[in-house]
Amino acid sequence: MFRALIHWILSAIALIVTANFVPGFYVNDVRSAMLAAVVIGLLNATLGFIMKVVTFPFAVLTFGIFFIVINASMILLASKMVTGLTVYGWVPAFWAAVVLAILGMLIRSIMKDE
């Protein structure tokens, strides 16, 4: 339970950091970041997982780059659901997915050490 809470907080921080680096990707406040982290996590765990299974052969052909496109679409969908998260199109969503993937690797490495 404690690890999930820490992961949630670190994911929200990752969204705020991403908003500072990616133009066209905005998070209004910490509350919006916390809610967006939950929504993006749930979307990736459900709809994103199904999309990744269905498009796996295409992802193999693109060496996994297509998974970033799927994550970008989950970010765009989350921006429609969370009022404090604004994404202006596919390009900011794509770059946000790239930055969040890199930050996610760092979060997983931090969580692994605990």
Q: What is the mean pLDDT of each run of 10 residues along the chain (114 residues)?
A: 87 94 94 95 92 90 91 95 94 96 89 70
Whether 37 contacts 66, CB under 8 Å: no
Question: Can you give the residue ranges of every domain in the chain?
Answer: 2-113
Of 93, 52, 81, 27, the closest CA to residue 11 belongs to 27
Q: What is the pLDDT of residue 14?
A: 94
Q: What is the pLDDT of residue 113?
A: 65
Whether 25 contacts 87, CB under 8 Å: yes
Ranges assigned E (strand) in 1-84: 25-27
Alpha-helical runs (H) found in 62-89:
65-81
Whether 19 contacts 26, CB under 8 Å: yes
Backbone angles phi, psi at 27, to 5 degrees: -125, 125
